[in-house]
Amino acid sequence: MRVNGRRVEPGYRLHDGDQLELPRMEVIDTKPPARIPAALLRQIEQSILHEDDTLIVLNKPADVAVHVGTGVSGGVIEVLRHLRPDQPDLELAHRLDRETSGLLMIAKTPAMLRHLQQVLRDSSSLDRRYIALVRGAWPTKLTEVRARLRRTERTVLVDGDGQTACTRFSILRRFGNRATLVQARLVTGRKHQIRVHTRHAGHPIAGDQKYGDDSFHRSLRELGGSHMFLHASELRIPLPGGEKLHLTAPTPPSWQRPLDLLTTPGKRAPRPRRRNRV
């Protein structure tokens, strides 16, 4: 929602004369698609890392949407509702971009959904970490990026009048001056935060078609990299009973070959062999 042309916080109080601008509402059919590919059903079922009476956490594959949308007939939540027809209260607790892989939380009860949403709003008790491959040599002393972010209709921009946003970074592995594998810890959780903060720092994420660098993408494709290299790898979250849930998710297998080839400058991914036709 916008008031007088500017985005406002959820707790904003309206005043006489304020002009409201509401986004176009889109009614989404929550019923599962009539036909979901069997391969997608298996993929989502096998990606579940944790499940109890109130919560599911899975390692979402890259290029799988979390819900239906434009050009997407079915996402993670629709697949889970199809797989768990006796659990009508399944809801996404948060979202991951379609291109991002990694840990995704789905509440199985309204009470757990409310709890998770409250924890996500008050992020002081939450620890979410991502792994990203970025362009160039990430500076050792660059351990934190603070840059306010403003959402537009299609993208997110660094803007001094935007929402406060902070990401903490540490270096996991260097590939000379070509690329760096970094860990990113979310202090705040804005849309596209890590993607925009890495670009703002001058080191965009490999494979990021919205905020990345085309020449860097091409060099990674030559090494076999076909997806965006951003992965939600670790999660620590308090549960309603007071205990903490700690989960980790391995990076996608598709990362391994490009990372191996990055360690050997000049190498390219081998081309697939052509099969002789009979």
The pLDDT tens digits for 190-218 are 999 999 999 999 999 999 999 999 999 99
CA distance 78 to 6: 33
Contact (Cβ atoms closer than 8 angstroms) between residue 166 and residue 145: yes
What's the pLDDT score for residue 2?
75
pLDDT (tens digit per residue) in 79-110 = 999 999 999 999 999 999 999 999 999 999 99
Closest CA to 31 of 73, 69, 78: 78
What is the rounded radius of gyration, in angstroms, for the C-alpha atoms of the chain?
20
24 against 12, higher pLDDT: 12
Amino acid at 271: R
pLDDT at 125: 87
Domain residue ranges in the chain? 127-265
Task: With cut-offs at 50, 70 and 90, classify the pLDDT of residue 25.
Answer: low
Q: What is the pLDDT, as a whole number, of residue 264?
A: 73
Answer yes or no: are the C-beta atoms of 108 and 90 closer than 8 Å.
yes
E strands, 61-155, in order: 91-92, 101-107, 127-135, 144-146, 149-151
Question: Active site includes 97?
Answer: yes
**pLDDT at position 278, please?**
29
Mean pLDDT for the stretch of residues 247-272: 81
Give the pLDDT confidence score for residue 226 in this predicted structure: 84
The residue with greater pLDDT, 57 or 12, is 57
Confidence of residue 274 (pLDDT cuts 50, 70, 90): very low
221-250 pLDDT, tens digit per residue, is 999 888 999 999 999 999 998 899 999 999
- Token pair recorded at residue 98: 């379609």
Q: 27-36, 143-152, 186-195, 255-264: which range is least confident on average?
A: 27-36
Give CA–CA dist 51/177, Å, rounded: 42
pLDDT recorded at residue 32: 46
User: What per-residue confidence (pLDDT) applies to 276?
Assistant: 41
pTM: 0.82
The arithmetic mean of pLDDT across residues 64-77, rounded, is 80
Structure confidence at residue 71 (pLDDT): 61
> How far apart (Å, rounded) are the C-alpha atoms in residues 217 and 133?
11
pLDDT in tens, 125-176: 899 999 999 999 999 999 999 999 999 988 999 999 999 999 999 999 999 9
Question: CATH second-level architecture of 127-265?
Answer: 2-Layer Sandwich (3.30)
Mean pLDDT computed over 4-22 = 76
For residues 244 and 34, the model is more confident at: 244
* 4 phi-psi bin (left φ>0, alpha ψ -120 to 50, beta other): left
Of 18, 89, 97, 214, the catalytic one is: 97
Long-range contacts of 200-206 (CB under 8 A, 24+ apart): 200/145, 200/147, 200/158, 201/138, 201/142, 201/145, 202/136, 203/134, 203/135, 203/136, 203/138, 204/134, 204/135, 205/132, 205/133, 205/134, 205/135, 205/229, 205/230, 206/132, 206/133, 206/134, 206/135, 206/179
3-class secondary-structure state, position 43: helix
| Higher-pLDDT residue of 32, 38 | 38
Reported confidence tier of residue 44, pLDDT bands at 50, 70, 90: very high
Which residues are CB-contacts of 18 (< 8 A; sequence separation ≥ 6)? 3, 4
- Cβ atoms of residues 1 and 7 within 8 Å: yes
